[in-house]
């Protein structure tokens, strides 16, 4: 499709101004003609570029056809069996893909798009469709609302199938814009998730250390051209790029003309989108970040529910605990339960219970093993710890040694889900960021456990715990509990 440009002549009648539109694939002309720079933008690394723009990839148009056919078949079937009038069935079949289109279900996602998000869009569209049908019920006297509601529910479930069965989606292609150090750090983060592909970078200056085989450019003036030539889905402007707001606006226009999106980095670390909103004040658009939920009714509900669940689980697990205590006493002398002081909410110490998985002289022997510590930071971990007994190794492998911590939850010292419970000697070495973990109760499980436990570095462990503290919700707790089952069965980091 050719670029649509409208020419406007100024009152002086001399210079035509090209106004870019948001359609087409050809590169946009400059909004105001300017003399060409003496030297072109240098290519610092990467292959020689083709001057022709790449064709855009398919935008999953086949899903629209699938949903339309599915809605038509179900609607006609409902009409054929006499459950719905044919007119209502056909109108519903035609409206369903249009509602999904309006909700953005068919939009090609770039950053932040997940299968769960696609499923959520479909299900919420189904809810809105049900509400719409209820509102129109006075004008549909011959229509059975129960049948119409069932049809909407079936369509909602069926339309989630493509999002769930597609094994692999194309990774969004990104151009990063910012300082060399920021681009390097962003690339490292994106590599760990393996959900995006960085195809080029626009830098504020020449990098002292090359960015590998990545095609890199100095300056942001031709960012849209770079995005087009590399078939990028989006340009991500990182914090520190220091782009004036006028240049950001012009960059947005030019990217819209080549079919790419613009994302602006906020500099926030591990803040979930639901805690943010854009507000305007005095002509300035700013991002408002809400405070984390540290107290209030939802925290009280969490505490109450967790204590009840922990008490029930403790009663159910009592025979298993008794058997394990007997086995521990038979294997090695000493108590079956291991008591250790840990630091709880607001720095208050408490006694944490565990099934003993080491010899009774484990704390004394730790001093001699300090030099072979395999963990960084303030943690002490050894993969093949000689203090662990054979039975203790099996208990740790399946996290059975942590069952007595349910009593700590019942007492109110711990939560089912929360940050890792820290030792006093670890807290004594905390700097500012790790101390933030102490504003909530430690947990039997948490993001640290479902993400790798002992395999995590100290920095990763702290970051996961802070992410949990800052973005806590009841839904996040439920997701962590569900992932805990998989983490326990997978044994990752359990040593």
Examine the pLDDT at 487 and tell me if it is beyond 70: yes
- Tokens 């719905």 locate to 84
Examine the pLDDT at 30 and tell me if it is beyond 70: no
Residue 295: partners with Cβ closer than 8 Å, 6 or more residues away = none
Residue 31: pLDDT band by 50, 70, 90 thresholds? Answer: very low
Residue 346's closest CA among 290, 292, 419, 268?
A: 419
Residue 419: pLDDT band by 50, 70, 90 thresholds? Answer: very high
DSSP secondary-structure letter at 275? G
DSSP secondary-structure letter at 41? P
Average pLDDT over residues 200-208: 91
Please say whether the dihedral angle defined by the alpha carbons of residues 477, 480, 481 and 482, taken in this order, is positive or negative. positive
Q: What is the pLDDT of residue 147?
A: 73
Q: 355 in helix, strand or coil?
A: strand
Residues paired with residue 175 on neighbouring β-strands, in sequence order: 200, 235
Q: What is the pLDDT of residue 388?
A: 81
Greater pLDDT, 341 or 259: 341
Report the C-alpha gap between 312 and 405 in whole angstroms: 13
What is the separation, in whole angstroms, between the first and last Cα of the chain?
59
Q: What is the pLDDT of residue 254?
A: 92
Instruction: List pLDDT tens digits, range 76-129.
Output: 888 888 777 788 778 878 888 888 888 877 766 667 666 677 777 888 888 888
Looking only at the bridges linking them, the beta strands covering 234-237 and 173-178 are parallel
- Tokens 């963990």 locate to 375
Proportion of the chain above pLDDT 70, given as a percent:
76
Average pLDDT over residues 409-421: 95
pLDDT winner (highest mean) among 48-57, 277-286, 392-401, 413-422: 413-422
Instruction: List pLDDT tens digits, range 271-302.
Output: 888 888 888 887 788 888 999 989 889 999 99
* Contact present, 135 and 54 (Cβ < 8 Å): no
Residue 238: partners with Cβ closer than 8 Å, 6 or more residues away = 176, 177, 178, 179, 182, 183, 186, 265
* Contact present, 64 and 101 (Cβ < 8 Å): yes
Report the C-alpha gap between 198 and 179 in whole angstroms: 15
Average pLDDT over residues 23-37: 37
Q: At what angle do helices 390-397 and 318-331 cross, to 10 degrees?
A: 150
Q: What is the pLDDT of residue 27?
A: 39
Specify the DSSP element, H or E, that contains 474. Answer: helix 474-490
Report the C-alpha gap between 107 and 89 in whole angstroms: 26
- Exposed e or buried b for every residue in 108-123, given b needs 16+ CB within 10 A? bbbeeeeeeebbebbe
The torsion of the CA quartet 270, 275, 280, 284, rounded to 10 degrees, works out to -10
Examine the pLDDT at 360 and tell me if it is beyond 60: yes
Q: 217 in helix, strand or coil?
A: strand
Greater pLDDT, 23 or 305: 305
Examine the pLDDT at 25 and tell me if it is beyond 80: no
Report the C-alpha gap between 51 and 411 in whole angstroms: 68
Report the C-alpha gap between 323 and 336 in whole angstroms: 11
Residue 299's closest CA among 438, 453, 418?
A: 418
Report the C-alpha gap between 453 and 97 in whole angstroms: 44
Report the C-alpha gap between 101 and 67 in whole angstroms: 11
Joined tokens for residue 197: 């592909």
Residue 71's closest CA among 102, 98, 101, 96?
A: 96
DSSP track, 181-204: HHHHHHHHHHHHHT--EEEEEEES
Angle at 118 between CA 25 and CA 271, to 5 degrees: 90
Q: What is the pLDDT of residue 323?
A: 95
Q: 337 in helix, strand or coil?
A: strand
Within 10 A of 437 (CB to CB), how many other CB atoms are there?
26
Examine the pLDDT at 39 and tell me if it is beyond 60: no
Q: At what angle do helices 115-135 and 86-102 cross, to 10 degrees?
A: 140
Please say whether the dihedral angle defined by the alpha carbons of residues 271, 435, 350 and 387, taken in this order, is positive or negative. positive
């Amino acid at each position: 499709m050719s670029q649509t440009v409208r020419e406007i002549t100024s009152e002086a009648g001399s210079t035509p101004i090209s106004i870019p539109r948001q359609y087409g694939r050809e590169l946009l002309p400059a909004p105001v003609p300017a003399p060409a720079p003496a030297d072109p933008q240098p290519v610092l690394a990467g292959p020689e570029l083709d001057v022709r723009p790449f064709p855009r990839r398919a935008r999953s148009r086949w899903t629209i056809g699938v949903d339309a056919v599915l809605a038509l078949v179900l609607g006609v079937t409902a009409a054929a069996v006499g459950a719905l009038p044919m007119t209502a069935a056909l109108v519903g079949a035609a409206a369903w893909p249009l509602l999904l289109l309006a909700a953005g279900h068919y939009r090609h996602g770039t950053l932040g798009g997940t299968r769960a998000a696609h499923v959520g869009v479909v299900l919420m569209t189904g809810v809105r469709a049900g509400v719409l049908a209820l509102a129109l019920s006075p004008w549909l006297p011959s229509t059975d609302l129960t049948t119409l509601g069932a049809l909407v529910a079936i369509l909602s479930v069926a339309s989630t199938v493509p999002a769930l069965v597609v094994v692999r989606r194309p990774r969004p292609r990104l151009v990063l814009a910012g300082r060399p150090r920021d681009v390097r750090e962003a690339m490292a983060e994106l590599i760990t998730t393996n959900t995006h592909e960085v195809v080029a970078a626009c830098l504020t200056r020449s990098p002292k250390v090359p960015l590998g085989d990545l095609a890199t450019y100095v300056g942001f003036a031709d960012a849209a051209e770079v995005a087009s030539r590399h078939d990028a889905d989006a340009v991500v402007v990182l914090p520190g790029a220091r782009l004036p707001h006028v240049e950001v606006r012009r960059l947005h226009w030019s990217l819209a003309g080549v079919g790419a999106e613009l994302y602006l980095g906020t500099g926030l670390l591990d803040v979930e989108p639901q805690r943010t909103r854009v507000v305007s004040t005095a002509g300035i658009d700013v991002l408002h970040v809400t405070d984390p939920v540290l107290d209030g009714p939802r925290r009280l509900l969490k505490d109450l529910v967790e204590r009840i669940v922990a008490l029930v689980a403790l009663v159910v697990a009592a025979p298993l605990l008794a058997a394990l205590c007997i086995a521990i006493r038979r294997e090695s002398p000493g108590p079956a339960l291991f008591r250790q002081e840990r630091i709880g909410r607001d720095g208050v110490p408490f006694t944490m219970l565990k099934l003993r998985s080491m010899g009774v002289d484990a704390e004394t022997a730790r001093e001699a093993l300090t030099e072979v510590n395999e963990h960084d930071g303030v943690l002490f971990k050894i993969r093949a710890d000689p203090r662990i007994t054979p039975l203790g190794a099996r208990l740790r492998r399946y996290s059975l040694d942590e069952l007595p911590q349910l009593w700590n939850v019942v007492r109110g010292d711990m939560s089912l889900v929360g940050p890792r419970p820290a030792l006093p000697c670890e807290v004594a070495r905390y700097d500012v960021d790790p101390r933030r973990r102490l504003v909530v109760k430690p947990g039997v499980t948490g993001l640290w456990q479902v993400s790798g436990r002992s395999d995590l570095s100290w920095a990763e462990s702290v970051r996961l715990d802070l992410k949990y503290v800052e973005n806590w919700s009841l839904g996040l707790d439920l997701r962590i509990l569900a992932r805990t089952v998989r983490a326990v069965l997978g044994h990752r980091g359990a040593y």
